[in-house]
């Protein structure tokens, strides 16, 4: 299993942008360049999610279901805390994603 520092070195800005290309294309142009804290949080989220996936793949335990071992961890409060304060400015300026309240 690669260490956390190995993952940090491998998952650089270009890898994060490549992984999130579809979603980034729906943001206002240059938003990530202008909002360093958002990109930093996204990069941390991608690194943490990849680490969870790698642990599952390298574990080799076929009894562990993907949804329990990976998806539940990716949707956990630990990763949610990384991304919950990210602002998502849309092309329309309505910024609907920022106004959603989850109860």
Tell me the pLDDT tens digit for each residue of 15-51.
Answer: 999 998 988 887 777 878 888 888 899 999 999 989 8
* Residue 62 contacts residue 35 (beta carbons within 8 Å): no
CB 39 within 8 A of CB 32: yes
**Domain extent for 8:** 4-99
The set of residues, in sequence order, having a beta carbon less than 8 Å from that of 56 and lying 6+ positions away, is 64, 66, 69, 70
Residue 27 pairs in a beta bridge with: 90
Measure the CA–CA gap between 53 and 71, rounded to whole angstroms.
Answer: 9
Q: Note the pTM of the prediction, 2 decimals.
A: 0.74
Nearest to 47 by CA among 101, 23, 83: 83
The predicted pLDDT at position 47 comes to 92
Task: Tally the domains of the chain.
Answer: 1
């Amino acid at each position: 299993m690669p260490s956390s520092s190995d993952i940090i070195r491998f998952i650089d800005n270009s890898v994060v942008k490549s992984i999130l290309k579809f979603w980034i294309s729906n943001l206002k142009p240059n938003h990530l360049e202008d909002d360093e804290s958002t990109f930093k949080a996204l990069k941390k989220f991608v690194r943490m999610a990849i680490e969870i996936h790698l642990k599952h793949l390298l574990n080799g335990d076929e009894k562990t279901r993907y949804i329990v071992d990976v998806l539940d961890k990716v949707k956990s409060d630990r990763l949610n805390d990384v991304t919950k304060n990210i602002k998502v400015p849309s092309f329309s300026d309505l910024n609907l994603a920022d106004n959603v309240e989850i109860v």
